[in-house]
Amino acid sequence: MNPIIMPAMPAPINDQATVLRELVSDKKERGGLKDRITGMRSIAILSGKGGVGKSNVAVNLALALAEFGLNVAILDADLGLANIDILFGVIPKFNLGHVLRGDKELSEILFKVGERVSIIPGGAGLRELADLDDQRQSWIINRLSFMEDETDILLLDTSAGIHKNVLSFATASDLSMLITTPEPTAIRDSYSVLKSLCQSTNGQINIGLVVNMAADEKEAFMVAERIISAGEQFLNFHMAYLGCVVWDFAIRESVKKRKPLLLDNTESVSAPYFRGLAKKIFEPAHDLQSTSKAVEKDTFFLRLARQTGEKEKR
Ligand SMILES: Nc1ncnc2c1ncn2[C@@H]1O[C@H](COP(=O)(O)OP(=O)(O)OP(=O)(O)O)[C@@H](O)[C@H]1O
Ligand SMILES: [Mg+2]
């Protein structure tokens, strides 16, 4: 039996909305996040089921982090259906493949979409990274690593499901942000992703759950409880709950307008939730600073290259 379909105990509803509102309205907090990190932190945004809102979370979380004074890059790592550029209404000409082939510098493919937000179009480049020989790979990694000095947070928007590329992105990142919706299919698929990540890393991974398209915080919390308690019971793994984003018609509208919600409709009902997520990932319990990878000397791209190489050999 799939453990995730077990009935969940009603969970106490925390007063997250009030806390978030207080945090977000506290202007003194803005800019404070930047002081808490040194070096680039990477967050892979994952899901089991497709269409649960990964790309929209990536885009609006990036803008929320930028509001807090952080420099953010979004790596469009959805190898099948890259669409971060569409959500921003821009058409980048070059992608990571051009850097790998030596045609462009990374600085030339970074597409600025805001004062503190850039897109790195992945294109076929991420797949090609694994095929390079060691010498060429380290040459490329050095060229990619320069951006780690100028970027506070790298968000990776991945494709749905747990393909080997997604696994590489997750294991190379400081935090894997698993997105689900309250739909039973999405819940079951997110448990499957949690299981794969736990099994392939032997539990040595930092995963946080986000419930998107929730009717309200109560529903989101109950969904989170089900998945998290199944993880604890059957995988002996604790996944943090990072929060939710409520269902918001304005997100659909912003996609149609090709202008992200936090640029289009800043006062919409879901906007505080993206800002809440931005703050939540820096709370001591999930603090990116405290992860073991953060103290390693390795750069994100070096870890990624190593991971892709290992997955290729399997
Ligand atoms: N909180 C929300 N409220 C209402 N609609 C939403 C919300 N979040 C996302 N959507 C809508 O859901 C659809 C899918 O979102 P998105 O493309 O971000 O999902 P995805 O997980 O990246 O999909 P894929 O797996 O195809 O990459 C979009 O049409 C978007 O407008
Ligand atoms: Mg997407």
CA dist., res. 165 & res. 190, Å (int): 17
List pLDDT tens digits, range 86-118: 999 999 999 888 888 889 888 889 999 999 999
What lines the ligand 1 site, CB under 6 Å? 47, 50-56, 78, 81, 160, 212-213, 245, 247-248, 251-252, 255, 270
Q: Which of 49, 55, 163, 183 to mutate to test the pocket of ligand 1 (most atoms within 8 A of CB)?
A: 55
CA 279 – CA 283 distance, rounded (Å):
7
Highest mean pLDDT among 1-5, 37-41, 237-241: 237-241
- Higher-pLDDT residue of 81 and 26 is 81
* Ligand showing the shortest atom-to-Cα distance for residue 213: 1
Ion ligand 2 — residues with CB < 5 Å: 54-55
Is residue 83's pLDDT more than 90? no
Tens-place pLDDT, residues 126-160: 667 666 777 777 777 777 777 888 899 999 999 89
Q: How confident is the model at residue 82 (pLDDT cuts 50, 70, 90)?
A: confident
Average pLDDT for the chain: 83
User: Does pLDDT of 188 surpass 70?
Assistant: yes
**In this predicted structure, what is the pLDDT of residue 106?**
84
Pocket test residue of 159, 252, 262, 270 for ligand 1, highest count of atoms within 8 A of CB = 252
Domains, the chain, in order of start with CATH, read 39-313 (3.40.50.300)
Closest CA to 60 of 175, 179, 216: 179
Q: Whose CA is nearest to atom 31 of ligand 1?
A: 252
Is it the case that residue 263 has pLDDT exceeding 70? Answer: yes
Q: What's the predicted TM-score (pTM) here?
A: 0.87
Q: Judge contact between 100 and 74, C-beta under 8 A.
A: no
Higher pLDDT, 54 or 21: 54
